[in-house]
């Protein structure tokens, strides 16, 4: 579920970014599209920027559903 457009499905790209304030955000886009959508509830303040990779790994594990 995304904040902007609700549910999106299909071939997607996932990214996790870190703001200057230390907030991690997970976003998805349709593969090859320009627009990114924020995954609802997928924001967290990180104690260290080094934690971003772990957050991304967890997000991929939770959101990757190749069989639906």
**pLDDT at residue 65, as a whole number:** 79
3-state secondary structure of 14: strand
Beta partners for 24? 18, 44
3-state secondary structure of 4: coil
Please write the tens of the pLDDT for every residue from 7-51: 988 889 999 999 999 999 999 999 999 999 999 998 999 999 999
What pTM value is reported for the model?
A: 0.85
**pLDDT at residue 1, as a whole number:** 85
**pLDDT at residue 68, as a whole number:** 61
């Amino acid at each position: 579920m995304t904040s902007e457009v609700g549910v999106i499905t299909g071939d997607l790209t996932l990214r996790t970014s870190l703001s200057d304030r230390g907030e991690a955000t997970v976003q998805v886009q349709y593969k090859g599209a320009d627009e990114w959508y924020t995954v609802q509830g997928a924001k967290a303040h990180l104690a260290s920027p080094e934690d971003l990779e772990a957050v991304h790994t967890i997000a991929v594990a939770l959101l990757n559903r190749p069989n639906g």
